């Protein structure tokens, strides 16, 4: 299934795509694409719904594909070719940091650079949405805890991230710095999360073009690993790292200053498009 949320910010309605790509209203069946709806039992219930019996929903705006995200966790330096681009050694264990959930926005919402921003940057990433939560998850069964996958743009302000002291979180958490969607594609529709092409363009120039095959730590290991340090819950998002081609890695670096348009996507998971503006 391809699940999504449409409507004004804060008042999105749950929906699914039918076989013809039409958006069908799920609000008579579930309140949101969130919480227990993302657990195996909730998704199994939705899988029994015939989309053609649901009303067609007009789409003025596509919102974040998951509502009520509890934890937004990111993995740094998780592509071998991106680590090489950054001139850094491959991590021996996954590098973890957080994005504020107030950064979450829709896949076509404007990305707003915060006051004082001088080094805005982009990162196309595979997002893993948790369905069945838990702690100390076995690696062998880790994918059973995944509700599905989505496109994430891990927008960054590199000066805040690197030059202002402390952890990376302060350069990752401005409002609109976490566009997710357009769809939550359920796990059964993704044959192999370690064989997905992903790409990103700015103003029509292709900067990122990679594959999840070059991840240092795959999805199965990441779900297992993260659960050793925190309890995962339905609707949590793990953003799994980015391939090479970020603005900071260009020679000379290229940064977002406002006025640009970013387009990005992942095979089978849809595309995003954001205009960059300044607060």
Q: How far is CA 133 from CA 91, 166, 244, in A?
A: 26, 30, 31
Tokens at residue 170, please? Answer: 């302060």
Residues 240 and 75 sit within 8 Å (Cβ to Cβ): yes
CA distance 103 to 72: 9
DSSP, res 36: G
CA distance 74 to 233: 15
- Indicate where the chain has its CATH 3.90.850.10 domain(s): 72-278
- Tens-level pLDDT at each residue, the chain (279 residues): 999 999 999 999 999 999 999 999 999 999 999 999 999 999 999 999 999 999 999 999 999 999 999 999 999 989 987 777 777 778 899 999 999 999 999 999 999 999 999 999 999 999 999 999 999 999 999 999 999 999 999 999 999 998 888 778 999 999 999 999 999 999 999 999 999 999 999 999 999 999 999 999 999 999 999 999 999 999 999 999 999 999 999 999 999 999 999 999 999 999 999 999 998
DSSP bridge partners of 26: none
Residues 148 and 187 sit within 8 Å (Cβ to Cβ): yes
What's the CATH class of domain 72-278?
alpha beta
Place of tokens 């067609």: 56
Tokens at residue 87, please? Answer: 């001139």
Residues 148 and 34 sit within 8 Å (Cβ to Cβ): no
Calculated CA dihedral for residues 258, 274, 60, 56, nearest 10 degrees: 180
Reduced 3-state DSSP string for 65-124: CCCCCCCEEEEECCEHHHHHHHCCCCCCCCEEEEECHHHEECCCCCEEECCCCCCEECCE
């Amino acid at each position: 299934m391809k699940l999504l949320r449409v409507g004004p910010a804060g008042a999105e309605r749950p929906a699914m795509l039918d076989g013809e790509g039409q958006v069908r209203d799920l609000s008579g069946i579930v309140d949101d694409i969130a919480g227990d709806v993302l657990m195996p039992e909730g998704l199994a219930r939705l899988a029994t719904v015939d989309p053609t019996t649901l009303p067609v929903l007009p789409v003025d705006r596509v919102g974040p594909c998951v509502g009520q995200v509890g934890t937004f966790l990111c993995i740094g330096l998780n592509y071998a070719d991106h680590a090489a681009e950054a001139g850094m050694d491959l991590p021996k264990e996954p590098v973890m940091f957080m994005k504020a959930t107030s950064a979450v926005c829709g896949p076509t919402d404007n990305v707003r650079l915060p006051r004082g921003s001088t080094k805005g940057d982009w990162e196309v990433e595979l997002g893993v949405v948790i369905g069945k939560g838990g702690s100390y998850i076995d690696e062998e069964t880790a994918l059973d805890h995944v509700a599905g996958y989505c496109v994430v743009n891990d927008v960054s302000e590199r000066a805040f991230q690197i030059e202002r002291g402390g952890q990376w979180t302060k350069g990752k958490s401005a409002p609109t710095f976490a566009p997710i969607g357009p769809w939550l594609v359920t796990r059964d529709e993704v044959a192999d999360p370690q064989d997905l092409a992903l790409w990103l363009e700015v103003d029509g120039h292709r900067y990122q073009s990679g594959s999840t095959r070059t991840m240092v730590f795959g999805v199965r290991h990441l779900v297992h690993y993260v659960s050793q340090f925190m309890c995962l819950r339905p609707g949590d998002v793990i953003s799994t790292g980015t391939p090479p081609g970020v603005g900071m890695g260009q020679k000379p670096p290229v940064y977002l200053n406002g006025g640009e348009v970013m387009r990005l996507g992942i095979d089978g998971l849809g595309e995003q498009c954001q205009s960059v503006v300044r607060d």
